[in-house]
Amino acid sequence: MERVLPVVSRTDRTTTKADLVEEVARVSGLTKKQAEAVVESVFDGIVASLKSGQKIELRGFGSFKLRQRGARMARNPKKSGVKVMVPPKRVPYFKPGKKLKELLNRPEAGADAPAAAEPSR
């Protein structure tokens, strides 16, 4: 049986870490303080793994890894477009898993057709 956490955010568009903590507490029977420790521990583990160069793979959900972005010239929008050198940096990248993509694209009973899709980058 598929377990779904119906996380309800306090706003119409954004689910926050606090929303996740509340939902973990609700479905697990943990106190909010205990649930917050669990959520923080998961996030800390993901960050620590990425920092050490590891890829995080959550089967069915997706994977996180770091990508290296090279140095480049850019324009500073606050200083009349003055050219500045942007140093190389590591950026996190998330690749959704097959099951997550299927769940997100599965039509729901009684749901209207989705609005026009945003163009992909």
**Residue 7 pLDDT level (bands cut at 50, 70, 90):** low
Would you say residue 91 lies in a domain? Answer: yes
Would you say residue 11 lies in a domain? Answer: no
Per-residue pLDDT at 81? 83
Would you say residue 89 lies in a domain? Answer: yes
Would you say residue 50 lies in a domain? Answer: yes
pLDDT at 51 over 90: yes
Would you say residue 69 lies in a domain? Answer: yes
pLDDT at 63 over 60: yes
Say which residue the tokens 């995080």 belong to.
Answer: 56
Render the burial of 35-56: b for 16+ CB within 10 Å, e for the rest. Answer: bbeebeeeeeeeeeebeeeeeb
Q: Do 93 and 100 touch, CB atoms closer than 8 A?
A: no
Would you say residue 58 lies in a domain? Answer: yes
Would you say residue 21 lies in a domain? Answer: yes
pTM: 0.69
CATH number where 22 lies: 4.10.520.10
pLDDT at 1 over 90: no
Task: Output the average pLDDT for the chain.
Answer: 86
Would you say residue 3 lies in a domain? Answer: no
Provide the residue range defining the domain that includes 58: 17-104
Per-residue pLDDT at 13? 79
Q: How many domains does the chain have?
A: 1
Question: Residue 32's closest CA among 41, 42, 21, 40?
Answer: 21
The neighbouring-strand residues paired with 72 are 86
